[in-house]
Structure 1
């Protein structure tokens, strides 16, 4: 049942997929489907939880121990196409758009995943020696979400390269020491007070 829901939600969308569609694809009776998932919202939440647990979201790459913090952050911009070659974008953004009530369980789950993403990226940015880390982390997760959305609309799995290039510049600027302000003595400047 969950496999059928995962496939249909990804290809048709949450709103356009009915419980009857899922029962037919599973195949199970509607009675059996409703015995396991009393409401469609329960099935949507199970679908989103499956996305997280199976490592099908950007959150998975942010926890990879085989990559450096910088590599993990930049890997957010590698858009992975689905087996059929299409680009689906972020399942949490899709769910939040289709279930727009900010107090609803589906929208709340999507928000929690986006906040978890921000927390992970903030921690990785901090490990890179950037202080404060939060402003850069906010910029990078916004860039990643935008890239995923554009990649989906354009059906271009390579689209993330544009956001990755921008992210590399932002990271390097944040890690570089700030130049002295105009009129302030700089390193090696003979005008420094003695």
Structure 2
């Protein structure tokens, strides 16, 4: 279980939100909502331990993440809004490198299958610099199919630049992860056909 208690976020000299609290349990999908600039991405960074809160605490399985960050990160997959890929490498090379760096399986066949599943069968060996924005996004998203063992998926705008079919396929993958006992926390401005309606956390309700 992921627990967030009385969280406050300071960005520069501006307090974005305070008193934010929620619980996320196995099998749940949480959609983080709110107007632009309210602190949705900042919240994801606090939850993943990539930034420090002004106040409050984030706990994983009852333990504050600051006490055992490595154990928490072994259970976490975080994909930010911008695709983190090397333009000189192919999608297959990028995915194998990302998986190896994260300690996930980087077997070439498994990576190939993940890229085919995400819709990049014809771009496997092309340099990433020639890919469209949507195709670049899919390279990063292919990691989802190789990270089922990670219980918590935190995704920032995962549906950006995807076509209708890719949105449906990704929504199914997220629903399947939850059905298998995983947890998903995401931001998105798009409607997606999830198998089960997500819970909604309105960050704007805690805005300062």
- State the TM-score, normalized to the length of structure 2: 0.24
Higher relative contact order (CA 8 A, sep 6+): 2
Report which of the two has the higher share of helix: 1
Larger Rg: 1
- State the TM-score, normalized to the length of structure 1: 0.25
